[in-house]
Amino acid sequence: MTEPGSNEASLGSPMWDYIIIGAGSAGSVLAGRLSAKATSKVLLIEAGPDFPPGSEPEEILDLYPYRASFNSGYQWQGLKAYIQPLSHNYPDRPPLKPYGQARIVGGGSSINGELANRGTPDDYNEWEQLGAIGWGWDAVLPYFRMLENDLDYVGPLHGNDGPISISRVPTDVWPGFTRAAADAFSAAGYRNIEDQNGQFEDGWFPVALSADRKQRRSAAMGYLDEASRGGGYLCIRPNVHVERIIFEGRRAVGVEAAGEITLGRHIVLAAGALQSPAFLLRAGIGPASHLKSLGVPVLADRPGVGANLQEHPSIAMSAWIKPHARMGESPRRHVLLALRYTSGCQGSVPADMYTVVVAKSAWHPIGRRIGTLFSWINKPYSTGRVSLRSPDPKDHPEIAFELLSDPRDMARMKESFVKMWAFFSAQHMKAASSDPFAAIHGAMAALVGQINAKNWMMTLGPALLMDGPPALRRFVVGRLLTSVADLNSVIHDDESLERIVRDFTIGGWHASGTCRMGAPDDPRAVVSPDTGQVYGVDGLFVVDASIMPTVPRANTNIPTIMIAEKMADQMLSVAR
The residues assigned a catalytic role are 510
Residue 352, helix vs strand vs coil: coil
| CA pair distance 48, 271, nearest whole angstrom | 12
For β-strands 244-248 and 251-257, DSSP reports them as antiparallel
CA of 220: how far to CAs of 31, 355, 457, in Å?
Answer: 10, 28, 35
Buried b (16+ CB within 10 A) or exposed e, 162-196: bbbbbbbbeeeebbbbbbbbbbbbeeeebeebebb
Length of the chain: 576
| CA pair distance 512, 543, nearest whole angstrom | 11
| CA pair distance 296, 301, nearest whole angstrom | 12
Contacts of 125 (CB under 8 A, 6+ apart): 136, 137
**Do 35 and 572 form a contact (C-beta atoms < 8 A)?**
no
Residue 288, helix vs strand vs coil: helix
Q: What is the CA radius of gyration of the chain?
A: 23
| CA pair distance 564, 263, nearest whole angstrom | 22
H or E stretch covering 340: strand 335-341
